Amino acid sequence: METKLDIRQLSLEQLITQIADLGEKKFRAKQIYEWLWKKRATDFNQMTNLSKSLRETLKEHFIINEILLKEAQKSKDKTIKNAFLLADNSVIEGVLIPTKKRMTACVSVQVGCSLDCAFCATGKLKKVRNLNADEIFDQVVMINEQSNKEFNIPLSNIVFMGMGEPLLNYKNVISSVEKISSSSGLGMSAKRITVSTAGIAKMIKKLGDDNVRFNLALSLHAANDVKRNKIMPINESNNLDSLKESMIYFTEKTGQRPTLEYIIFKDFNDEISDAEELFQFGNAFPSKVNIIEYNSIDDKKYQQADPKKVDAFASYLESKKVIVNIRRSRGKDIDAACGQLANKNELTF
C-alpha cells in the first residue's frame, strides 16, 4: 500500500513535479498550493475549483495533517493559552496576548526543548522533535481566528517565543515565516514577526547571510559569562564574545536593530553593575533592551526582582541612551507567561 505524502511538506516546485507525475497540468499545482497556504484548506473537498476526479486523486496520494485545538484557558487579563494536539498526538502550546496596542500570537517551534535553561519550564520537558513549517503556520492561523472571534481584531504581531529554540529548527522556521508573510500565504508583514533565540552564534550569522526581514531577539538574561553559564547551559558553547561577534555581523548584514531580552532575577542579575555589563555588551551594535518580569515555575530557585531595583536598572540604561522597555508579564495565573509553557495541565486524549 502506497504511503501517502503530507502535501504541505512539499515546496511549490516539488508539488508541480508531483502533480505532473499524476498526469495533471502544472497550473493545477499552483491552485492547490494557494488552497493550502492562502485559503488554509484542511480538506481536499474544499478545493472547489478542482474537478472531483482530481480531488479524489489527491486523497489517494496525499494527506493534509492539521493541528487541533484541544483546550483554551483564558487569564484574568484576557490572555489565552492554547493546547494544540498534533497529528502524532504530541501537544504544544501557543498563546494569544491582547493589549491595547496590539494582538500578539506567541507560537512554538519544537515539542519540548533541549536547552534546559534554569528559569524556564519548557526546558524541563526535553526536546521530542522539531515542528514542521505547517504546524507553526497552523498555530498562527488558529490564534488569528481566535483573536477575531474573541476580540473582533486580527493579529498584529507574531513572536516565536513559545516552546523550543527557533534556530535549532532553522529550515522550518524560515519556511513558516515565508508562508506567513508571503502574498501566497497569510500576507503578514515580516516586520511584525519576531524570532527569539537563546543564542546560537553560527545560526545568528546565517540569519544575516540570509538577510532575513523579521525581527531578532536575543534572550540574554546576563551579560557575564559566569552568570549566564549558570542559568543557560547553551552559553558554554556560545559564550558572550561569540554572541557579540555574531550580533555585530547580523546588524551589519541586515541593517536591523535587534532586541536584547533580559529577565531580571532577585539578587542575581539586578544590580547596577549588571546593567553596566549589559550596556557594554549591547553598545557594540545597534540594539534595544526589553527588561522582563520573571515568572515563577514553582521550583523557588529564582524570584522576581524588587520593582525599585528594576526601575533603577532601567534608569541606568536610559542614562546611557539605551532604548529600554519594561515588559510586565501577562497570563501568569494560567501559566501562559514567558518561560511557563510546559503542558502543565496533563492533558489526555
pLDDT digits (tens, 9 = 90+) for 90-104: 999 999 999 989 999
Mean pLDDT over 184-200 rounds to 96
- 347 part of a folded domain: no
Q: Indicate whether this model's pTM tops 0.85.
A: yes
Q: What percentage of the chain has pLDDT greater than the value 90? A: 82
The pLDDT-based confidence of 198 (bands split at 50, 70, 90) is very high
For 91, other C-beta atoms within 10 Å of its C-beta total: 21
- 299 part of a folded domain: yes
* Domain span including residue 17: 11-63
pLDDT of 143 above 60: yes
- 56 and 92 housed in the same domain: no
Q: Distance (Å, rounded) from C-alpha 136 to C-alpha 185?
A: 13
pLDDT of 111 above 70: yes
- 210 part of a folded domain: yes
- 4 part of a folded domain: no
Mean pLDDT over 223-232 rounds to 96
β-bridge mates for residue 63, sequence order: 6
pLDDT of 332 above 70: no
pLDDT of 226 above 90: yes
- 58 and 73 housed in the same domain: no
- 339 part of a folded domain: no
pLDDT of 7 above 90: yes
252: its cell numbers: 551589519
What's the gap between Cα 4 and its chain centre? 29
- 226 part of a folded domain: yes
Q: Give the residue with greater pLDDT, 307 vs 329.
A: 307
- 232 and 185 housed in the same domain: yes
- 107 and 249 housed in the same domain: yes
Q: Distance (Å, rounded) from C-alpha 317 to C-alpha 312?
A: 9
106 flagged as catalytic: no
- 42 and 129 housed in the same domain: no
- 24 and 161 housed in the same domain: no
Q: Show which of 63, 83, 107 is a domain's final residue.
A: 63
Q: State residue 347's pLDDT score.
A: 32
Q: Show which of 63, 84, 100 is a domain's final residue.
A: 63
pLDDT of 85 above 60: yes
What's the gap between Cα 99 and its chain centre? 19
Mean pLDDT over 184-189 rounds to 93
- 5 part of a folded domain: no
CATH of the domain at 55: 1.10.150.530
pLDDT in tens, 229-260: 999 999 999 999 999 999 999 999 999 999 99
- 55 and 189 housed in the same domain: no
| Spatial contact of 302 and 266, defined as CB atoms under 8 Å apart | yes
- 40 and 157 housed in the same domain: no
- 348 part of a folded domain: no
Q: State residue 298's pLDDT score.
A: 65
Q: State residue 266's pLDDT score.
A: 92
Of 106, 113, 120, 338, catalytic: 338
Q: State residue 348's pLDDT score.
A: 26
Burial of 211 (0-12, 13-18, 19+ CB in 10 A): exposed
Q: State residue 145's pLDDT score.
A: 96
- 198 and 276 housed in the same domain: yes
Of 93, 135, 165, 293, catalytic: 93
Q: Distance (Å, rounded) from C-alpha 317 to C-alpha 310?
A: 11
Q: Distance (Å, rounded) from C-alpha 323 to C-alpha 260?
A: 10
Instruction: Count the domains in the chain.
Output: 2
- 168 and 31 housed in the same domain: no
| Spatial contact of 81 and 331, defined as CB atoms under 8 Å apart | yes
The pLDDT-based confidence of 178 (bands split at 50, 70, 90) is very high
The pLDDT-based confidence of 107 (bands split at 50, 70, 90) is very high
Q: State residue 117's pLDDT score.
A: 87
- Which residues, including other chains, have CB under 8 Å from residue 140's CB and lie 6 or more apart? 105, 107, 155, 158, 176, 180, 186
Q: State residue 2's pLDDT score.
A: 64
Q: State residue 295's pLDDT score.
A: 76
- 151 and 35 housed in the same domain: no
The average confidence (pLDDT) of the chain is 91
- The owner of cell 516565536 is 160
* Dmax (CA) of the chain: 70
CATH of the domain at 137: 3.20.20.70
Q: State residue 55's pLDDT score.
A: 97
pLDDT in tens, 26-70: 999 999 999 999 999 999 999 999 999 999 999 999 999 999 999
338 flagged as catalytic: yes
The pLDDT-based confidence of 294 (bands split at 50, 70, 90) is confident
* Residue whose C-alpha is closest to residue 42's, from 71, 15, 18, 63: 63
Long-range contact pairs involving 175-182 (C-beta distance under 8 Å, separation at least 24): 175/133, 176/133, 176/134, 176/136, 176/137, 176/140, 177/212, 177/214, 179/37, 179/133, 179/134, 179/137, 180/137, 180/140, 181/213, 181/214, 182/37
- 30 and 109 housed in the same domain: no
Q: Distance (Å, rounded) from C-alpha 249 to C-alpha 151?
A: 40
Mean pLDDT over 311-323 rounds to 97
